[in-house]
Amino acid sequence: MAAPRNAPQIVEILRRNAAREFAAARSLPPAIYHDADIFAMEVERIFYRDWICIGRLGEIPDAGDYVAVDIVGRPVFVVRQKDMSVKAFSNVCPHRGSRLVDDCGRARRFVCPYHSWTYDLDGRLTGAPFMHDTPGFSVDNVRLRELRCTQWQGFVYVSLDPDAEPFASHMAELDAQVGKYEFSDYVPVHTETEIWNANWKCLVENYMDVYHLHRVHADSFGKYGGFEQSTCFFPGNDYFCYHYVQEDGSEHSVAAHPDNERLQGEDRHRTWLINLFPSHTVQLQPDLLWYLSILPLSAGSLRVRWSVSVPQDFLDDPDGGEQHVRENLELLMQVNREDRLAVERVHGGTAEPSATPGPLSSLERNVWDFGRYLARRLCS
């Protein structure tokens, strides 16, 4: 198969690959990670339509706590309200377009850094200096543009599409599998934001790829081996794909805290890996939660916000809770470094113009599920 040279050819290969049986599955056409027209399609059809994870409720626990991100050039922020609900707004001042806030923090109100228009936490304009002699102007007629905002298991999502399907309406299958972990109560202990030199899809695929563990993570996750035999995959749908890794409760196994009486049997030693399309990846364990919210900056660069949360029972444990947090953070930072090297290498390799799709292993089932989601978004 010759390497495609333009977006229609790339889309056609994507369509053909997605139509195969999994046994004959191929990787994405390498040019899909680099083509400018494909990137523009992804922005319009995926990032400006689907639900995007902004962070966790636990990261904005008090009134006025906010997190701001750019969804590919569209600045947004979420903010905890006085009644503890969460609202999302366009992070653009309706006066002359300045961004209001950066990164994350806590505010009693939002004062625009350009001319000091002042907004309440609920988006109402409450003050606008020197505007009293502007005919017809009233603060009552101005407010920040509110966006669709929803929550799932402690995560906060925003959609730029006013007509986006309600998020909760398609989560029943996943809730039935992982709801028992009650991870909306896990407490955030560490958050980082990084810029990587790779296409966003390279990182999403990597997170859901069990095949690379034995090699890339030979010194971390892969040290004790066995993932290849103990992973159970579920077929992806329009909204997510996932699998779990079953451990046996032996010395190095993932394990629920002894005080945790909710989880029984194998659930106490199970790690779930979930990709909520397009780019929210989750590693859920009985003893921690690690998630990535991935946003493209360009076809060749991404911003990843990742955060680790821990169940309260570990934090309350005077005999090892601190050690549990410290050791897991060290481990995940190492895993993250290993993944970054691997992902940026894949991005670099796929830039080769003659690169073509390769066959997938059975351990890349969710990589294929992600490719089929992309086909549904890009091939219509």
- Please report how close the Cβ of residue 205 comes to Fe ion at its closest, in angstroms: 10
Nearer to ligand FES, 101 or 325 (CB): 101
User: Residue 52: phi, psi to the nearest 5?
Assistant: -115, 130
Query: Nearest approach, Cβ of 113 to ligand FES (angstroms)?
Result: 8
User: By Cβ distance, which residue is nearest to Fe ion?
Assistant: 339
Asked if 299 and 31 count as a contact pair (C-beta separation under 8 A), the reply is no
Considering only residues 213 to 272 of the shown chain, the ones binding Fe ion according to CB under 5 A are none
Give me 222's structure tokens. 């892969």
Residues forming contacts to ligand FES in the complex (CB under 6 A) are: 93, 95-98, 112, 114-115, 117
- The pair of structure tokens assigned to 346 is 């894949």
Residue 217 CB, nearest approach to Fe ion (Å): 6
Give the nearest distance from C-beta 48 to ligand FES in angstroms. Answer: 23
Please count the residues of the chain: 380
Burial of 147 (0-12, 13-18, 19+ CB in 10 A): buried
Q: Which does 54 bind (CB under 5 to 8 A by kind): Fe ion, ligand FES, none?
A: none
Could you tell me the maximum CA-CA distance found in the chain, to the nearest angstrom? 74
Q: Could you tell which of Fe ion, ligand FES, none binds residue 95, using a CB distance below 5 to 8 A set by kind?
A: ligand FES
Choose the contact partner of 339 out of Fe ion, ligand FES, none; CB within 5 to 8 A by kind.
Answer: Fe ion
Task: State the Cα–Cα distance between residues 72 and 199, nearest whole angstrom.
Answer: 13
Nearest to Fe ion of 339, 369 (CB atom): 339
Interacting partner of 117 out of ligand FES, Fe ion, none (Cβ under 5 to 8 A depending on kind): ligand FES
The yes or no reply on residue 205 touching Fe ion (CB under 5 A) is: no
Q: What is the nearest approach in angstroms of ligand FES to the Cβ of residue 121?
A: 17
**Among ligand FES, Fe ion, none, what binds residue 224 when CB lies within 5 to 8 Å by partner kind?**
none
Tell whether the torsion through CA atoms of 52, 57, 60 and 63 is positive or negative.
positive
CB of 328 to ligand FES, least distance (A): 42
Phi-psi region of 318 (alpha: psi -120 to 50; beta: other; left: phi over 0): alpha
Q: What is the DSSP letter of 165?
A: P
- Per partner kind, with CB cut-offs from 5 to 8 A, the member of Fe ion, ligand FES, none near residue 145 is none
CA angle 8–48–185, rounded 5-degree value: 130
Find out whether the peptide bond into 278 is cis, omega within 30 degrees of 0.
yes
Rounded distance between C-alpha atoms, residue 63 and residue 331, angstroms: 33
- List, in sequence order, every residue forming a beta bridge with 308; answer none if it has no partner: 190, 290
Q: Which residue's CB is nearer to ligand FES, number 116 or number 298?
A: 116
When binding is defined by CB under 5 A, the residue of 339, 367, 372, 374 that contacts Fe ion is 339
117 or 186: whose CB is closer to ligand FES? 117
